[in-house]
Amino acid sequence: MARNAKDHPGELAADDPIRLLGIRETPLSLDEVFKAVGDDAAGGTALFVGTVRDHDGGADVDALAYSSHPSAEAELRRVAEKVVAEFPVRALAAVHRVGDLAVGDLAVVVAVSCAHRAEAFAACRKLIDDLKHEVPIWKHQTFSDGRQEWVGAC
C-alpha cells in the first residue's frame, strides 16, 4: 500500500505523475530527472536546466550558495501539483540544489512529459517559473569586487 505522498513530500505514490521531487545538497543528475519522466504514452518531454553563471547584473560572480526554508520541499510539491492539475502531465520531476555551488554547476533541473510537445513545453515553463517564484529557496552571491547580495530573500 502506497503511503500518502502529500503527508510525506519525499515519498511519492506509484500512480502519482509527480515522479521525483527534491531539495538536495548533492550534485544533480540530468539522467535521473530525464529517466524519472519517461512514459510510453508521452510524445513530448521538456527539460529545463538552470546552471550557475559567472556573472549577474554586469558583475562577475565568484561564489554562490543556495539555502532553503524547511518547508521548501512541501512547497515544491504544491507547485508540482498545480502544474499537474493545469496540464495533461504524464510525468513530472523537479530537483533544486542547495549549499555552495561553483560556476557551471547544475542549480535546478525540471522535466515534464505529456502526450504532445506543446503541452510539455507549457507545463515545464509553468513548473520552473512557479518554482522560482513560490518555493522558498534563496541565493547568496559574492561578487569579484567583494560585494554580496541575497536574491529571493524577503
> For residue 41, what pLDDT is reported?
95
Within 8 A by CB and 6+ apart from 32, the residues are 20, 95
Q: What is the CATH number of domain 18-57+71-136?
A: 3.90.1170.40
C-alpha cell, 125: 515553463
> For residue 107, what pLDDT is reported?
98
| pLDDT per position as a tens digit, 23-62 | 999 999 999 999 999 999 999 999 999 999 999 989 999 9
Q: One-letter amino acid identity for 100?
A: D
Q: What is the mean pLDDT of each run of 10 residues along the chain (154 residues)?
A: 39 76 98 98 98 94 95 98 98 98 96 98 98 97 93 70
Contact 93, 33 (CB under 8 A): yes
pTM for the whole structure: 0.88
HSE on the CB side for 61, CA within 13 Å?
Answer: 20
> For residue 1, what pLDDT is reported?
25
Spell out the domain ranges in the chain.
18-57+71-136
Contact 127, 87 (CB under 8 A): no
Q: Is 99 exposed, middle or buried (0-12, 13-18, 19+ CB in 10 A)?
A: middle
